[in-house]
């Protein structure tokens, strides 16, 4: 595809419900990242996938958050038992390779609101 | 721990009034410094990558420079369409980028 795509664009849910956010990276990109952007805050790293290697989950804020990447392409971020503090924009990025010198290209984000 | 500080937090310019945005960083082994532009309701859009001190890159009215401690994004004769939040990020020892909080730029006609 032309760029990173994410769905849904917006999600409103009730506290305690589970949500799934989807990311489709740029074709051929081996690395995929999830970040969270809260109002007025910088981007906060959540999780990183590179090829077939074990993901780097060091940024996940709690065990309610999990992510998977199927077939080295599409990724799903799942938040269980959502809380109001989970409200934020969830951004996905991909890069050609996995080093931190690689340019990351971002999707449009999913705006999550937990009521 | 890698850290990025951007200043000012917000900047209001008149059309044609040139200025600079600052990005100060501390990182264990800089692999790359990245500038992004973010419009309201959208994801960050890549602008530049700088890899070593002394490097400069230009695109239209924007010019990014890099020293060992900071980077500047110079905006020459800005137009209203340059209004956005500009984000700076560093790539260091870990795979993920470390971002600053951004500078909100408003250019008035």
Per-residue pLDDT tens over the stretch A63-107: 999 999 988 799 999 999 999 999 999 999 999 988 888 899 999
Task: Dump pLDDT digits (tens) for B21-72.
Answer: 999 999 988 999 999 999 999 999 999 999 999 999 999 999 999 999 999 9
Q: What is the pLDDT of residue A90?
A: 98
Residue of A nearest to B40 (CA): A108
Give the count of Cβ contacts less than 8 A between chain A and B: 72
What contacts 24+ positions apart, CB below 8 Å, involve A38-41?
A38/A87, A38/A88, A38/A89, A39/A88, A40/B101, A41/B101
Q: Do B45 and A106 touch (CB under 8 A)?
A: yes
Residue B104: pLDDT over 80: yes
Which residues of chain B does A98 touch, with a Cβ-Cβ cutoff of 8 Å?
95
Residues of chain B that touch chain A, judged by Cβ-Cβ distance less than 8 Å: 4, 31-32, 34, 36, 41-46, 49, 51, 87, 89, 91-102
Which two tokens mark A61? 């804020």
- A50 lies within 8 A of chain B by CB: yes
B23/B100 Cα distance (integer angstroms): 8
């Amino acid at each position: 595809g032309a760029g990173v795509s994410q769905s849904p664009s917006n999600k409103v849910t009730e506290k305690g419900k589970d949500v799934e956010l989807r990311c489709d990276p740029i074709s051929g990109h081996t690395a995929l990242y999830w970040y969270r952007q809260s109002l007025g805050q910088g981007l906060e790293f959540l999780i990183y996938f590179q090829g077939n290697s074990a993901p780097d989950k060091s940024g996940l804020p709690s065990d309610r958050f999990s992510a998977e990447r199927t077939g080295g392409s599409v990724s799903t971020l799942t938040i269980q038992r959502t809380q109001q503090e989970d409200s934020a924009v969830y951004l996905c990025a991909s890069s050609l390779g996995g080093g931190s010198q690689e340019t990351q290209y971002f999707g449009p984000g999913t705006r999550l609101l937990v009521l | 721990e890698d850290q990025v500080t951007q200043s000012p937090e917000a900047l209001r310019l008149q059309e044609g009034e040139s200025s600079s945005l600052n990005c100060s960083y501390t990182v264990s082994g800089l692999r790359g410094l990245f500038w992004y532009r973010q419009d309201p309701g959208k994801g960050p859009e890549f602008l530049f990558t700088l890899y070593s001190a002394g490097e400069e890159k230009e695109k239209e009215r924007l010019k990014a420079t890099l020293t060992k401690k900071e980077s500047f994004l110079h905006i020459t004769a800005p137009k209203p369409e340059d209004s956005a939040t500009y984000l700076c990020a560093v790539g260091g020892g870990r795979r993920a980028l470390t971002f600053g909080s951004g500078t909100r730029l408003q250019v008035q006609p």
